[in-house]
Amino acid sequence: MVKTLVFVTLPLLFFCFPPRSNAQVAPQASPGIQGRVVAEIPFRTSSGLILVTVRINDSRELRMYLDTGMSGPVVVLFHKELAGEVGLQGAQSVLLRGAGQGERKPGTMARGATVKVGGLEMADQTVVVFSDSRETSPWQVDGIIGKTLFDKYLTRIDYENSVISLYDPAEARVDAPFQAVPVSLDVGFPIIETTLSVDGRADIPVKLVLDLGHRNALFLNVNAGKGIQTPQTTLKGLAGRGIQGEVPALIGRLAELKLGPFSLKNLPTSFLLPEAKIGLKGGLVDGDIGELIFNRFTVVLDYAHKRIFLAPNKSFDLPFEYDMSGMFLEQNRDDIYFVIGVLENSPAAENGIQKGDKILALNGQDVRGYKFGEVFALLRQDGQEVKLTIERGGERLEKALTLRRLI
């Protein structure tokens, strides 16, 4: 018998940051949180998402995204070879549904695994493995972990110091400067009820998934009946890639999003047309809030009490700039950037950048030598020239892009 599972993340944005250190971190108290720290997990950022190291049974260290866009407490592995490498036993066939234009993805599921992360050891865990081989898979890391941790621990994510702190929820108390925002977990992942304003319509009520596996700021399902319509100025691009492939979208600006007591304005937003698949049935939600919003806060996930807490960090007041090159980028296993899409009528398109190009250097410097956030900022400077060294079909090419604001 083949089971159908619906659990894996909504669309991802293609942008990336160089890695940070994975040095060990000693547990310590956090301002605004009282309670016992069970473990602290250092993380780095890969392709714009939180990346942690995990061991399954007696495996090598696996690189896995931390994701809230999963409806079940399972650990996901992207490559079929990993089933043997981690020693899974008694696997059964499943079909996986998620975002994207393709068909449901076949895979296998096994129970009884031991998962180790940040000094924690969790027994009797469920692991799902995709059918893709490592060589043909579009996914450059080993897998995803999330709800397995969030269901059990109060989880603090500190973007400024790249540390995830896990607390015993029975003992933890969260105080100022954190602000509470209620969430629903009725369908497994956290959903926030809030309001937004777009193209003259103010305070539109919406339900949005909190999705740390989505690298953009926001995507919305176009719904004229609710007043969620595409702005006058848009770009034809991608909201990201999900389990079933790429998700096309029109990219524009949202006037305002309310997030608890916080107001976020002029947000780059992917507007999904009705034919786009986002992995959810029957209009359960209106969209998805991603990393480029939440990384402006210290975030506390309190699933036990159906709420999150937010405290602005030093990035909170920065303007929301959108990429000014026209390149959709992702990071490969060697931390080299590669182009997976090019916007029409953009500096990249006008200078002959193509899908599949590898970006080896920016302004003469190896991309792997850039500090955290520098690549992100470099491609968002209106009027600046950026020199690219790219590799295409074994040949090195030099390109120069003059950046400009696209939306």
- pTM for the whole thing? 0.86
Q: Is it the case that residue 276 has pLDDT exceeding 90?
A: no
Please report whether residue 407 resides in a domain.
Answer: no
Looking at the domain assignment, is residue 141 inside a domain?
Answer: yes
Q: Are residues 187 and 168 part of one domain? A: no
Cis peptide before 177 (omega within 30 of 0): yes
Are 250 and 331 part of one and the same domain? no
Which of 174, 203, 220 is where one domain is finished?
174
| Residue 25 reports pLDDT greater than 70 | no
- Judged against a pLDDT cut of 50, whether residue 84 lies above it is answered with yes
pLDDT for the residue numbered 80: 94
Statement to judge: residues 18 and 138 lie in one domain: yes
User: Per-residue pLDDT for 58 more than 60?
Assistant: yes
pLDDT of residue 97: 66
Task: Tell whether 276 and 342 lie within a shared domain.
Answer: no
| Residue 86, both tokens | 């981690």
Both tokens of 197, joined, read 């304003």
By residue range, what is the domain housing residue 385?
327-402
pLDDT at 9: 42
Do 145 and 243 fall within a single domain? no
Instruction: Please check the confidence at residue 7 and state whether its pLDDT lies above 50.
Output: no
Same domain, 153 and 279: no
Whether residue 317 lies inside any domain: the answer is: no
Give the containing element (helix H, strand E) for 392.
Answer: strand 385-392
Residue 275: which CATH number? 2.40.70.10
Q: How confident is the model at residue 239 (pLDDT cuts 50, 70, 90)?
A: low
Reported as type and span, the H/E element at residue 347 is helix 347-350
Q: What domain count does the chain have?
A: 3
Residue 349 DSSP SS3: helix
Name, in order, each residue with C-beta under 8 angstroms of 355's C-beta and a sequence gap of 6 or more: 339, 340, 341, 342
User: Would you mind telling me the total number of residues written for the chain in this entry?
Assistant: 407
Same domain, 134 and 18: yes
**Pair 212, 278 in one domain:** yes
**pLDDT higher than 70, residue 78:** yes
Residues 210, 265, single domain; the answer is yes
**7 and 83 assigned to the same domain:** yes
Considering the domain architecture, whether residues 156 and 241 belong to the same structural domain is answered as no
One domain for residues 210 and 293:
yes
